[in-house]
Amino acid sequence: MPQFVIERTIPGAGSLMAEQLKAVSQTSCGVLKTLGPTIQWEHSYVTDDKIYCVYSAPNAEMIREHARLGGFPAESVQEVRTVISPATAG
């Protein structure tokens, strides 16, 4: 299944308390249950003012629907074409 990286601008994201992050995560998981098993949240990276999420889904439209239903921004939805790491250099 394709993977996508979603860029979400959330001012002050890096300062969110654990309970706030838990609430956001619970909202996301609730929407995922509604959309069914073909979309999965892998993980997210929280920076000062953005959250970068990695999802598996059949298409970008489903990612955008998740954002719409959850009330999350999704300024950029990009399909991952390949993954590289230090092992790639070997």
Q: What is the pLDDT of residues 51-78, one digit of tens each?
A: 999 999 999 999 999 999 999 999 999 9
Q: What is the DSSP letter of 11?
A: T
pLDDT at 88: 96
Total-model pTM: 0.92
pLDDT at 16: 96
Give all domains of the chain, ordered by start, each with its CATH number: 3-89 (3.30.70.3090)
- In order of 21, 27, 37, 73, 90, the CA distances from 51 in angstroms are 11, 15, 23, 10, 31
- pLDDT tens-digit profile of 29-54? 999 999 999 999 999 999 999 999 99
Given a contact cutoff of 8 angstroms between Cβ atoms, the answer to whether 47 and 13 are in contact is yes
CB atoms within 10 A of CB 60: 16
CA–CA gap between residue 8 and residue 64 (Å, rounded): 11
3-state DSSP percent of the chain in helix, strand and coil, to 5: 40, 30, 30
pLDDT at 25: 96
